[in-house]
Amino acid sequence: MERRDDGGGWTIERRDDRASKNAHRDDLSTDGVASLCFHLSRAATAESSINQIGFNTPPSAGAAPTWDAIIEVGGSQQFVSEGRFYECHSLKGVEPGSKIAFERVLGTHDGSSPNWGHPYVKGARVEATVLENYDAKKVIVFKYRPKKHYRRKNGHRQPMTRFLVTKVVKA
């Protein structure tokens, strides 16, 4: 804060000294505007795990690969590539180790140009192997009304399916 007399009375002016005071911090830029710096080099490395049918599940961390197809699965759309595993909301009636085929392919990519469907690509499918069925991390649902003595705490674990894409048939 700085006080100065401009002839008509005292005025108070706020100076932005955040950059000089906090120059040692990573999350402030030199012009004094706060910015969040996410250091991708410090990202946690994923570890592989053994799933329900004994496959060693490779980690899906790292640089995003080029995609081979976009599929509609479990109520959402996913970019998929051959040889990688993905998670989706629980697929009914599939057991670990079973083979499944996704016929709802929204688009395929052959390396040079994408092929879009209207709404689906005819003749295209994605073949996969179910690795495991599991419950996702618990989410806490807490309802609260201030000053009314109303508090409800509930937990939810979403059933999920992990699958490994084995083949992408492009039409």
Same-domain check for residues 134 and 51: yes
pLDDT digit string, tens, across residues 71-123: 999 889 999 999 999 999 999 899 999 999 999 999 998 877 889 999 999 99
Same-domain check for residues 7 and 77: no
pLDDT digit string, tens, across residues 36-79: 333 333 334 455 666 666 666 666 655 545 789 999 998 899 99
Same-domain check for residues 155 and 132: yes
Same-domain check for residues 111 and 150: yes
Same-domain check for residues 88 and 162: yes
Same-domain check for residues 28 and 110: no
Token pair in block for residue 115: 């092929």
Q: How many domains does the chain have?
A: 2
Pairing of the two strands 114-116 and 105-109: antiparallel
What was the pLDDT predicted at 5? 57
Q: Report whether 51 contacts 133 (CB < 8 A).
A: no
Q: Quick check: 33 pLDDT over 50?
A: no
Same-domain check for residues 91 and 144: yes
Same-domain check for residues 139 and 165: yes
Instruction: Write out the residue range of the structural domain in which residue 104 sits.
Output: 46-169
CA gap 58, 45 in Å, rounded: 12
Outline where DSSP puts E strands in 55-138: 56-57, 69-73, 76-80, 85-89, 99-102, 105-109, 114-116, 125-135
- How confident is the model over 4-12, as a mean pLDDT? 56
